Amino acid sequence: MSSHKPLNFFGLTALVLLGAVSELLGKPVGGAAASGADAAAPKRLFKTVFLTAIAVLALLGIGGLLFMASGLYNMAADQPHTPPVRWMLLAGRTRSVEFYSRGIASPDLSNPTLARDGFVFYRKLCQPCHGGPGVANDQVGRGINPKPPPLTTTAVNWTDAQLYWIISHGLKLSGMPGFAPPLGDRDRWALIAFLRRLPLVSPADYQLMASSPGQPSLPADAPSDADLGFPSIQKGNPRLGKTLISQYGCATCHLIPGGGSGLVGPPLTGFAERQYIAGILVNTPANVVAFITDPQALKPHTAMPNVGVQRTEAIDIAAYLYTLGSPNRLAALRRAGTRARNGSERAGR
């Protein structure tokens, strides 16, 4: 891992800035041709502004320290941070992880044994705080602030190297511990291999895996592109899908951006980002198409009726729905599905 420290860089910058400022204060700001009195005026103005700015910053700093010392800021874990403090902590954390995980090379995670072993660690070490699909975290996880996020949707926001760094070292001012002991190097990579497969696991499958210790039933191979339905969806026509949504009256029940605002079922805003559909299926193109064509088969007694949508039409409808919200989750699903064959993370993620 790199031994660069950001402190040196900032220290150097501060020195340079200080030097530049003191030079400016010592010399006239105007050109060499300016007369004495005129040359002094802009320099005085600059000095006043600069000193005022310093004074304001110093007062804010002292004020901040006094505020913290006063005990007025609520540090209860079951109450949220104020938005500015939260932003500061999160931004700092993200930048820090990005900086300190530079130079970590992630290995090939395609070996199916890795993901299976990773699940054993996940269940024992991660599930108590983060929970799993359909499985609650323990009380200890619920009491923590910041809340341990659901890794099904949040692990995709980090690279393998960043996850490795977080898992190894933990995070200050959070409940996330470092697992460098007790987990060895290979074990931590195994955990990450499992985290990449986790979004593809349905809640029912996960509950089965979680209930039978020592016998995880994570399928050896990750689903292929075709299994997930990506080749078909790419041939789908979103514009036609939007028309079909109108023809089939989907918006009489669902709020669909660009379609209408029914109140029978849930809104479909940001549909591409949704992790599950109908509460029980992983949101993949294949599942969406199957659900649209025959919801009763997949979820008996659901309020969503079979209205005779043909498969090709369902593909177009799904193509439209996948224009709603960020495409990042789908891209990550595709990478998770084909990683088993392609090995380690592609560059330029």
Q: Which stretch binds other proteins (CB under 8 A): 181-189, 200-208, 310-318, 330-338?
A: 200-208
User: Is residue 149 a contact residue for other proteins (CB under 8 A)?
Assistant: yes
State the DSSP code for 27: S
Q: Which stretch binds other proteins (CB under 8 A): 111-119, 150-158, 167-175, 231-239?
A: 150-158
Query: Minimum CB separation from other proteins for residue 219, in Å?
Result: 17
Q: How far is CA 66 from the centre of its chain?
A: 35
Size of the site for other proteins (CB under 8 A): 44
Using DSSP's 3-state secondary structure scheme, residue 256 falls into strand
Q: Give the DSSP letter string of 101-138.
A: TTTPPP-----HHHHHHHHHHIIIIIHHHH-BTTBPPP
Q: Supply 248's token pair.
A: 């089939």
Q: Which stretch binds other proteins (CB under 8 A): 186-194, 240-248, 257-265, 311-319?
A: 257-265
User: Is residue 219 a contact residue for other proteins (CB under 8 A)?
Assistant: no
* C-beta closer to other proteins: residue 189 or 291: 291
Residue from 269, 296, 306, 342 touching other proteins (CB under 8 A): that is: 269
Q: Supply 29's token pair.
A: 């700001």
User: Is residue 42 a contact residue for other proteins (CB under 8 A)?
Assistant: no
* C-beta closer to other proteins: residue 101 or 127: 127
Query: Minimum CB separation from other proteins for residue 101, in Å?
Result: 24
* C-beta closer to other proteins: residue 153 or 243: 153
Cα separation of 67 and 79, whole Å?
Answer: 18
Q: Facing residues of 261 across strands?
A: 255
> CB 200: neighbour CB atoms within 10 A?
19
* C-beta closer to other proteins: residue 125 or 304: 304
User: Do 238 and 323 contact (CB within 8 A), yes or no?
Assistant: yes
- Binding letters toward other proteins, positions 296-315, x by CB under 8 A: ---x-xxxx-----------
Q: Supply 111's token pair.
A: 């070996």
User: Is residue 263 a contact residue for other proteins (CB under 8 A)?
Assistant: yes
Query: Minimum CB separation from other proteins for residue 122, in Å?
Result: 15
Query: Minimum CB separation from other proteins for residue 206, in Å?
Result: 9
User: Do 299 and 292 contact (CB within 8 A), yes or no?
Assistant: no
Task: Give the footprint of other proteins on residues 270-289 (CB under 8 A).
Answer: 270, 273-276, 278-280
Cα separation of 1 and 101, whole Å?
Answer: 8
User: Do 241 and 317 contact (CB within 8 A), yes or no?
Assistant: yes
Using DSSP's 3-state secondary structure scheme, residue 25 falls into helix
User: Is residue 135 a contact residue for other proteins (CB under 8 A)?
Assistant: yes
Cα separation of 255 and 141, whole Å?
Answer: 34
User: Do 332 and 199 contact (CB within 8 A), yes or no?
Assistant: yes
> Residue 155: which residues within 8 A CB-CB, separation 6 or more?
163, 195, 196, 198, 199
Q: Which stretch binds other proteins (CB under 8 A): 38-46, 97-105, 148-156, 173-181?
A: 148-156
User: Is residue 34 a contact residue for other proteins (CB under 8 A)?
Assistant: no
Cα separation of 51 and 230, whole Å?
Answer: 61
Residue from 133, 216, 229, 259 touching other proteins (CB under 8 A): that is: 133
User: Do 225 and 335 contact (CB within 8 A), yes or no?
Assistant: no
Query: Minimum CB separation from other proteins for residue 292, in Å?
Result: 14
Residue from 28, 112, 128, 150 touching other proteins (CB under 8 A): that is: 150
* C-beta closer to other proteins: residue 120 or 281: 281
Q: Which residues bind other proteins (CB under 8 A)?
A: 78-80, 86, 131, 133-137, 139, 142, 147, 149-150, 152-153, 202-204, 207, 253, 255, 263-267, 269-270, 273-276, 278-280, 299, 301-304, 325, 329
